[in-house]
Amino acid sequence: DRSVKIAPSILSADFANFGAEIRAIEDQGADWVHVDVMDGHFVPNLTFGPPAVKAFRPHVKTFMDVHLMIAPVDPYIEAYAEAGADMLTAHVEAGPHIHRTLQAIKATGMQAGVALNPGTPAEAVADVLDLADMVLVMTVNPGFGGQKFIDLTAKVRKVREMIGDREVHIQIDGGVDPNTAPLVVAAGADVLVAGSAVFKGGSVEAPEVYGRNMQAI
C-alpha cells in the first residue's frame, strides 16, 4: 500500500557505516529515515546524540525523523534543530509538560511528534492533537530492535478516531514486518518504522535486499 510511508530505523543498521547505510536505504526507496536516540535513562540502551545526527544530515535526502527516547527532552531541542532533524518525536512519558515540549519543538521550525509507550493509553495525547504533526504508537517496549510486535491495533484505531480530520500522521514503531504491517495500516497508521524487517539479510554491498524487504512490508 504505497500511500503508507516506510521509515527504516537505522538502529538495525551497521553502526560503523551509517552514511553508506542511509544512502543505501534511500536509494532502495525509503520514504523517511528513522533515527532512534536513546539516553540509557529513559530506556535501558544508549545510542547517539546531536553530534551523530549532525553527521547523518548530509547523507539524508528524504526526511530525518528523530525519535527521542530521552528524558528530559527540553534541554536538547535546540541542539537537534541545529543538527538538522526534520521532525522530533518526544515521549509523553518523558516529563510533566508534553504540551510545552511540543510548542518548543514547533518554535524551532521542526515538525513535532508525540510518542506513546505500550502501557500508555491513547487518551494521554488527546489534548495535544492540535499541536502534534504525528502520533507515534510504540508496539514494543522501547530500547531495542528485533523485538516481538505487541498487537495494539485497537489503540491505533482509537488514536485515528481522536485525530478526526486533522492532518496528523500515525507512526507505528516496533516489530513491524510483512505480517504485522497490514494490521496497523487497516487500523489507520500511515507511517511504518521498521528496523530488523528492513535490514535483515542485507548490507551496503547487497542493498537490493533492503529494497525487497521494504517492498514486502
Residue 150 has what DSSP assignment? Answer: P
Runs of H (alpha helix) within 16-152: 18-27, 50-56, 77-83, 98-107
Which secondary-structure segment (H or E) carries 212?
Answer: helix 208-216
Cβ-based neighbours of 51, under 8 Å, separated by 6 or more = 83
67 is a contact residue toward Zn ion (CB under 5 A): yes
Q: Retrieve residue 151's grid coordinates.
A: 498487537
Of the candidates 31, 65, 133, 173, the residue annotated as catalytic is 173
203 is a contact residue toward ligand DX5 (CB under 6 A): no
Q: Based on the residue annotation, tell me whether 173 is a catalytic residue of this protein.
A: yes
Which residue's beta carbon is nearest to the bound Zn ion? 67
Q: Which is nearer to ligand DX5, 132 or 194 (CB)?
A: 194
Largest CA distance in the chain: 46
36 is a contact residue toward Zn ion (CB under 5 A): yes
Given Zn ion, ligand DX5, none, residue 143, with its beta carbon under 5 to 8 Å by kind, binds: ligand DX5
Runs of H (alpha helix) within 57-152: 77-83, 98-107
Q: Is 143 annotated as a binding residue?
A: yes
Of the candidates 31, 36, 39, 65, the residue annotated as catalytic is 36
26 is a contact residue toward Zn ion (CB under 5 A): no
Q: Tell me which residues touch ligand DX5 (CB under 6 A).
A: 9, 11-12, 34, 36, 67, 69, 140, 142-143, 145-147, 173-176, 193-197
* Footprint on this chain of Zn ion (rule: CB under 5 A): 36, 67, 173
